[in-house]
Amino acid sequence: MQANQQIPNQQAPYRQLVSIAIQTDFRETSIQTDPWTAPIDETTASLQNQKLRDLVDLTFQSGLLPAHQQTINVITKIQEEKEFDLKIPPPVDPTIEQTEKTRNQEKTRIQMLIQKDIQTWALKEQELAKQHALRIKMLVDQLEERENARTELRDELLDRLEVTKKEQLQLTQLKLTQRAVMELKKTTHHLKTQIADQLEFQDNNVVSDRLIQQKTVNTLLPRLTLPQQKTTKKIVKQSIYAANPLNAPILKPGEAPYRFAGVIRLAGTELKTEEDFREILKFQQEFQVEQVKKLNCKYAVSKENGYLPPRLLPGNLLGAPDTRPEWMKTKRVRKSDELQQEKQKEAKNYVWKQFENPPDVSNQAKSDAALFIQNLIRGKYTQIIQENGKNRRIGLVDELRLAHILVQTRGKDVNLQKLGQERIQLIQQNIQNGMVMSGLSGFLGQTVDQIEKERVRMQQVSRAQGILQIAIRERQRREDLEQKTRSGEILQRQRKDFVRQEITQAHREFVDMVIDQLNKQSLEEDAQQQANDLAMRQVEAIVELDYQKSVQGAPHNYQDQLAEYLNEFLLPEVDRQFQIMKVQKAEEKWILTGELAKAMAEKVGSYHGKAVIDEEGNLETEA
């Protein structure tokens, strides 16, 4: 009734009574299920919990069962403990006469009490082991927290160092880039200065080829038809362009005069037949054989040094005769390949080509393509075509005027040499000057191209070297960073291994100590048990002797004999001393455990900043 009256005042764990009410009212014990139940901690599910003890009386008396399996196990243990306590026989009154039954009862009682005490101490040892494991876990957690904090500080330091190194590397790269740019600028300025000097030298040494007589105060000196002009880069490119026979002006009929395959057409002239062209060609060949000296030039127009297309020059840019000995010529021919031999043979047996075939459907596209590509290479496509066309037209007009005079004087007794002497000399001079200008322009053009190519090559080499240096530094930086990371990982692993070894060693020593004490305790308990058995046998012997004396009828003084027995073999006093000894041993064990834990903590060091682990993994304790 008291247990039933305490039900409204008790507060069971969450959902526990609700689960009991739901599952026990509508289900049998064999088919009970538990989809979800609230967890029960160790404090709730213990044998010393008064609520569970009350629940045992309530549930088992009414025939019900709780829903939680852990609660069932605890209640079962409590019930077994109560049943075991009920089975313990009551103590025997020592003042009355002892019989065989009472002696067996007392012996059974002592054995059951000892067994109960052993079970109680086993539970206490389990709780001690749990507490020890909990302390070890807390110690490991504190060590991990401290190591994590140190790792974070170290990572922050490494990050700051990495940022500083990156900034220094960027500054170094910027300085190197600026230095490379300055060197490139100096090289470019030097090359431009050389090109400007060469162009200035060329401008100072080249004059126009159109000469007339100028009457001065004392002498007649040749003068230019136009003011004297110095050649520039534009004129050099025009000369290079004009030296190529593929760059002949391609003009439409009606726009300007043009020549082709034996026919020279000009509006208002009679040069329309093949015979007229052959007569003009024959007339020009007579003067090509003669060596007429130029007034202000050391070169003469002849078959040896006459104008040749660039592809037919025998090797010398100005077309001078080859004065080398025969053994040198044969040696060079032997060293050259077949293509060079063909070019040399063609140069020896050259034929003057004064006229080019006109463009037709077959070679129009090829000529246009070559013209366009060459003009793109040389630059300023439209200006070059216009200037070159103008110069070609002027020359053609002069030639056609001479041809027109020759046609008009056909069949008449006129000295053609005197009639066109000035124009013939002008044509010869133009041919010779064109040859010289083409050779010189080709040489200058090749020199300029070589200088430009060398500059571009040096620039590319410098850029490639800069890229290579940057790649090498980047690879070195990555290797250094990987080495630092690898070293940090190795150091972290060593530290963790050291801490784990220290904890394992401390735990092993503590476990060995506990095992030794348990062995000692078991030996002492065995000795005490043997002493108790010996005392029981002595008591039994004395009782048996007393019984035999009483049977024999000897007079006894029961009071004196009882006092003697109590003084010699006081069993309750022996039991009390045994319990006192066990309590003292338990206290000594607790004190020893605390001292060992304290010694282990002092050995490992305080984990709140007093112990420091160096880079090699050794434990250093601050003073």
Q: Find the mean pLDDT for residues 178-186.
A: 88
Strand, helix or coil at 64? coil
Q: What is the largest CA-CA distance in the chain?
A: 207
Residues 333, 241: one domain?
yes
Q: What is the pLDDT of residues 361-404, one digit of tens each?
A: 566 666 667 666 666 665 555 666 677 777 777 777 777 777 77
* In a domain? residue 480: no
* In a domain? residue 420: yes
* In a domain? residue 552: yes
Q: Find the mean pLDDT for residues 219-223.
A: 42
* In a domain? residue 483: no
- Tell me the pLDDT band of 22, cut-offs 50, 70 and 90: very low
How far lies 551's CA from each of 97, 555, 556, in Å?
14, 10, 11
Residues 291, 397: one domain?
yes
CA 303 to mean position of chain CA atoms: 73
Other Cβ atoms within 10 Å of 74 Cβ, number: 22
Residues 497, 541: one domain?
yes
Tell me the C-alpha distance between 308 and 434, whole Å.
10
Q: What pLDDT is recorded for position 341? A: 67
Q: What is the pLDDT of residues 552-604, one digit of tens each?
A: 655 555 566 666 655 555 445 555 567 677 777 777 877 787 777 777 667 65
Please say which residue of 56, 87, 118 terminates a domain: 87
Among 19-28, 141-150, 184-193, the least confident range = 19-28
- Tell me the pLDDT band of 160, cut-offs 50, 70 and 90: very high
- Tell me the pLDDT band of 166, cut-offs 50, 70 and 90: very high
- Tell me the pLDDT band of 171, cut-offs 50, 70 and 90: very high
The residue among 186 and 376 whose pLDDT is bigger is 186
* In a domain? residue 356: yes
Tokens read off for 314? 């025998």
Q: Find the mean pLDDT for residues 67-89.
A: 77
User: Would you say residue 167 has pLDDT above 90?
Assistant: yes
Q: Which domain holds residue 558?
A: 89-205+489-623
Q: What pLDDT is recorded for position 332? A: 53
Q: Which residues pair with 300 in a beta bridge?
A: 293
Tell me the C-alpha distance between 143 and 495, whole Å.
11
Most confident of 242-251, 286-295, 409-418: 409-418
- Tell me the pLDDT band of 446, cut-offs 50, 70 and 90: confident
| DSSP string across 197-222 | HHHHHHHHH---S-EEEEE-SS-EEE
Q: Find the mean pLDDT for residues 511-521.
A: 79
Q: What residues contact 513, with CB distance under 8 A and at least 6 apart? A: 592, 596
- What is this structure's pTM? 0.23
Please say which residue of 33, 60, 87 terminates a domain: 87
CA angle 169, 171, 177 (to 5 degrees): 100
Among 189-193, 395-399, 413-417, 594-598, the least confident range = 413-417
Residues 363, 348: one domain?
yes
Q: At what angle do helices 69-87 and 100-205 cross, to 10 degrees?
A: 150
CA angle 14, 17, 23 (to 5 degrees): 120
CA 170 to mean position of chain CA atoms: 18
User: Would you say residue 211 has pLDDT above 50?
Assistant: no
User: Would you say residue 506 has pLDDT above 70?
Assistant: yes
Q: What is the pLDDT of residues 301-326, one digit of tens each?
A: 444 444 444 443 344 434 445 566 66
* In a domain? residue 479: no
Q: Is the dihedral of CA 251, 254, 255, 258 positive or negative?
A: positive
* In a domain? residue 472: no
Number of domains in the chain: 3
* In a domain? residue 229: yes
CA angle 601, 607, 613 (to 5 degrees): 105
Residues 135, 82: one domain?
no
Residues 46, 170: one domain?
no
Tokens read off for 533? 């058995």
The residue among 106 and 403 whose pLDDT is bigger is 106
Q: Find the mean pLDDT for residues 489-507.
A: 86
Residues 536, 585: one domain?
yes
Q: What residues contact 510, with CB distance under 8 A and at least 6 apart? A: 132, 596, 597, 600
- Tell me the pLDDT band of 353, cut-offs 50, 70 and 90: very low
Among 255-259, 367-371, 437-441, 522-526, the least confident range = 255-259
The residue among 405 and 88 whose pLDDT is bigger is 88
Residues 269, 372: one domain?
yes
Tokens read off for 510? 């503590």
The residue among 367 and 621 whose pLDDT is bigger is 367
Please say which residue of 66, 87, 108 terminates a domain: 87
Q: Find the mean pLDDT for residues 492-508.
A: 85
Residues 363, 389: one domain?
yes
Q: What pLDDT is recorded for position 163? A: 92
Residues 519, 598: one domain?
yes
What percent of the chain has a predicted confidence (pLDDT) above 70?
46
User: Would you say residue 113 has pLDDT above 80?
Assistant: yes
Other Cβ atoms within 10 Å of 55 Cβ, number: 24
* Rama region for 565: left / alpha / beta (φ>0; ψ in -120 to 50; rest): alpha
* CB-based contacts of 444-453 (< 8 A; 24+ apart in sequence): 444/198, 444/202, 444/236, 444/240, 445/236, 445/237, 445/240, 447/198, 448/195, 448/198, 448/236, 451/191, 451/194, 451/195, 452/191
CA 171 to mean position of chain CA atoms: 21
Q: At what angle do helices 421-552 and 381-408 cross, to 10 degrees?
A: 160
Spatial contact of 613 and 498, defined as CB atoms under 8 Å apart: yes
How far lies 362's CA from each of 357, 358, 359, 368, in Å?
11, 11, 8, 12
- Tell me the pLDDT band of 503, cut-offs 50, 70 and 90: confident
Residues 15, 151: one domain?
no
Residues 255, 397: one domain?
yes
Within 13 Å of residue 474, how many CA atoms lie on the same side as its CB? 7
Q: Find the mean pLDDT for residues 447-466.
A: 82
Q: Find the mean pLDDT for residues 507-527.
A: 79
The residue among 154 and 417 whose pLDDT is bigger is 154
Other Cβ atoms within 10 Å of 81 Cβ, number: 15
Average model confidence (pLDDT) for the chain? 67
Spatial contact of 421 and 200, defined as CB atoms under 8 Å apart: no
